[in-house]
Amino acid sequence: MNDEMYMISALRLLQSADELRDRVSGAFAAVHGLSVNEFFLLMHLERAADNRLPRVELAKRMYVSASTITRMVGPMQKIGLVDRESSARDARLAFVALNETGKNKLQEAKLTFAKNAGYAFEDRWQIDDVSILSELLHRFVAGRIANLT
Amino acid sequence: MNDEMYMISALRLLQSADELRDRVSGAFAAVHGLSVNEFFLLMHLERAADNRLPRVELAKRMYVSASTITRMVGPMQKIGLVDRESSARDARLAFVALNETGKNKLQEAKLTFAKNAGYAFEDRWQIDDVSILSELLHRFVAGRIANLT
DNA sequence: GCATACAGCTTGCGTATGCAAGCTTATTGA
DNA sequence: TCAATAAGCTTGCATACGCAAGCTGTATGC
């Protein structure tokens, strides 16, 4: 039955992600003092036009609430990874902008991320399989504003 | 380069899981008063021998800390989904055991989970693709005690 | 052009979670 | 045998998060 297939795939997807996140999380905290979510926030900014986004947009793309963005950005601004920018057109908007320090930090973090992702796959995957997985998962994220790839 | 492929696959995996979890989470809270994590806890118990597991085992399989298990189990025990059982052999062990109420609740929750997982895939996937994805992800979880499938 | 509705952001409060310390019970080593 | 170590569990503390309310600024209807 299709329902059974859907459930198994979804379970495996969530479990695989949990394991991967757990693996990356440890390395991130130790090496960069970053959380995985902070890494994703930087990734979204890097990909955005002018390297900046309104808080509401970040919230949608990261599947978290607006208040979470507010509270995440505070410390990141304090340590100089991002800046707060106001909009001339709409005084309600408070952009989060990636600055040079943030870009550099992000490049380092990407290496750590790739390395640990590599460990997770190398164990038992052929590179072709990773490629197929990547293509399949692309449909899950393709067309969504959240998509980072 | 392989590193790039690993990173993209890992990013997509995490993002897909975030979206899927977000989707299921809303339905779960509304329909069953369960969180996704509580659902997974019940799933692990169902799959275990005698439908029960020590707290430490649950923690490992769910990629959470032991204290999280302690605090999750309290309310679930109060509403009658699981029981606490001591071990005759080792008085340190406090098994979490799935009871009849919990089993019934789990069956209902599985339907909700499968339905919402289905929505997530049906949109743009052929069933054959889901099958391939499922097989690929199987390698991520195969052989791990955490594997539910 | 003004009142009403709405959008973006922040804050108060409750919940969830990890870490480290502490408690109880098993195991190990001499 | 018993002292030292380790395992399983719980609890105090700090952090992360969502929801709902509130605040400020924009858009809409008349």
From first CA to last CA, the distance across chain A in angstroms is: 32
Residues A54-107 have pLDDT tens digits of 999 999 999 999 999 999 999 999 999 999 999 999 999 999 999 999 999 999
For an interface test with B, the pick among A133, A138, A144 (most B C-beta atoms closer than 10 Å) comes out as A133
Residue A131's CB: how many other CB atoms inside 10 A?
A: 15
B35 touches strand C (CB under 7 A): yes
Residues A61, A43: Cα–Cα separation, whole Å: 11
Whole-structure pTM value = 0.93
Confidence check: pLDDT of A7 > 70 = yes
pLDDT at B65 over 90: yes
Closest residue, chain B, to A137 (C-alpha): B12
Of chain B, the end-to-end C-alpha distance in Å amounts to: 32
Instruction: List all residues 6 or more positions away from A59 whose beta carbon is below 8 Å from its beta carbon.
Output: A65, A66, A68, A69
Q: Phi and psi for B33 in degrees, rounded to 5?
A: 65, 25
What is the C-alpha to C-alpha distance for residues A56 and A92, in angstroms, rounded to an integer? Answer: 11
What residues in A contact B148, CB-CB < 8 Å?
A: 11, 15
Residues of B with Cβ-Cβ distance to A14 under 8 angstroms:
17, 20-21, 36, 40
pLDDT exceeds 80 at position A124: no
- Of the candidate ranges A9-18, B28-37, B95-104, the one whose mean pLDDT is the lowest: B28-37
Max Cα-Cα span within chain B: 55
Smallest CA–C1' separation from A66: which nucleotide?
Answer: C9
For strand D, is any atom closer than 7 Å to the CB of B54? yes
pLDDT number for residue B33: 86
* Chain B 92-121 residues in 7 Å CB range of strand D: 92-95
Residues of A in contact with B147 (CB under 8 A): 15
Where are the alpha helices (H) located in A49-141, listed in sequence order? 55-62, 66-78, 100-122, 127-141
| Residue appearing with tokens 């302690």 | B70
Residue type, B61: R
Nearest CA to A120 out of B105, B11, B135 is that of B11
A83 DSSP assignment: E
Distance CA A26, CA A123 (A): 18
In the block, tokens 């996140």 appear at: A21
